[in-house]
Amino acid sequence: ALPLRLRNVRKVYRSGKKGVEAVKSMDLDIEPGELITLLGPSGCGKTTTLRMVAGLETITSGDVFIGTTRVNDLPPSKRNVGVGFESYALYPPLNVRENLAYGLKAGKRVADPDKTVDELADRLEMHDLLDLRPASLSSGQKQRVALARALIRKPPVLLLDEPLGHLDASARQHVRRELKLLQRQFGYTTIVVTHDQLEAMTLSDRMAVMDAGIIQQFGTPDEIFDDPANLFVADFVGEPSINLFTATVVRDGGRTMIRVGNDVLETAAQNAPDGAEVTVGIRPQDCTMKNVTRGLSGSIFVYEDLMEHGIARVNHPAVPDKPLVVQTPAELQLETGQSVTFSAPPKRVYLFDKD
């Protein structure tokens, strides 16, 4: 496996006189054999980044290194990458088996291509597709074949753009697990592009959360979940979404509190001046109602029992029109209208600048 490095990489698309800066000065260091995801909303520059690494798009400025080789000026076929893009063409006259074997042979001589194809087809549960032609495949089936084609040559670097997007829920779970196992087994250095934060959380060694052509944070799923770098990351990652509301900072000796209506809550955040208006973020998963003496008090608006846990939506008098979401243990049963008080550990009460 090879390391992958991006240094100051930019992409400006020219359309007429105007330019669109799709990727702005991106730095990224990926370890050999590491799987990272690029996660972000539609249009943030994920596909553009991947295409520049693959050699399918010119790099406006900056450098891409695969291993120790600067690959900016190398064609895709010389970059040691396997690519799986949505638009990646299969040859229509060939059936799936022939398509996969063709991808294999284009690389190097293989003793028994059929055996290699069969093994991979087993892993991805796609034996029933091998005799079919591309035209008769559903979009989900095409996606599996495209993934298999990217994997079959065991490339040192694997680049996948939304590889699971067209699969139904159960197929997605299976293929996601196999992808991760194959990646571990063969040690491909891998970039997976996705807009699905759950997929990113389950697949990634580290994830790069992107917005507007910029990496907002790069870290392990735990680091990103537990210590979001800014409001965008806090809001984009996590399901159910983080609670965000306005509050006032109260410095009390060495401690920092936030006040919302009549309630106060301690935060471990530093650097917030007394009296400042801030946006507070608290994750539903970090809230507790157990043994709470001081916290946020409100009344239950809706309670959902989801078996493994509950989700309570709590109306707070100082947070208008937006119930606060609290994840509760399964054994708790709550009624609409019931009064509750909840809090979160100070380290999990995040403060962000109000914009």
**Residues of this chain that bind ligand ADP (CB under 6 A):** 13, 15, 20, 22, 40, 42-48
CB nearer to Mg ion: pick between 134 and 163:
163
Is 47 an interacting residue with respect to Mg ion (CB under 5 A)? Answer: yes
At its nearest, how many Å lie between Mg ion and the CB of residue 47? 3
| DSSP type of residue 288 | B
CB nearer to ligand ADP: pick between 41 and 261:
41
Determine the interface stretch with Mg ion among 41-49, 137-145, 167-175, 317-325 (rule: CB under 5 A).
Answer: 41-49
Runs of H (alpha helix) within the chain: 46-54, 96-107, 113-123, 139-151, 169-186, 197-203, 221-226, 231-236
* Site of tokens 């799986």: 84
At its nearest, how many Å lie between Mg ion and the CB of residue 36? 16
DSSP bridge partners of 4 = 30, 66
Mark 63-102 with x for binding to Mg ion (rule: CB under 5 A) and - for no binding: ----------------------------------------
Q: Choose the contact partner of 45 out of Mg ion, ligand ADP, none; CB within 5 to 8 A by kind.
A: ligand ADP
At its nearest, how many Å lie between ligand ADP and the CB of residue 17? 13
CB nearer to ligand ADP: pick between 42 and 170:
42
- Spell out the SS3 assignment of 330-354: CCCCCCCCCEEEEECCHHHCEEEEC
How big is the site for Mg ion, counted in residues (CB under 5 A)? 1
At its nearest, how many Å lie between ligand ADP and the CB of residue 9? 13
Contacts 24+ apart (CB under 8 A), 127-132: 129/96, 130/95, 130/96, 130/97, 130/100, 131/95, 131/96, 131/97, 132/95, 132/96
HSE value, Cβ hemisphere, 13 Å, CA-based, for 28: 36
Tell me which residue has its CB nearest to Mg ion: 47
At its nearest, how many Å lie between ligand ADP and the CB of residue 241? 20
CB nearer to ligand ADP: pick between 60 and 72:
60
Query: Do residues 281 and 350 touch, judged by C-beta distance below 8 A?
Result: yes
User: How far apart (Å, rounded) are the C-alpha atoms in residues 59 and 72?
Assistant: 7
Structure tokens at 129: 């597709």
| Residue ranges that bind Mg ion, judged by CB under 5 A | 47
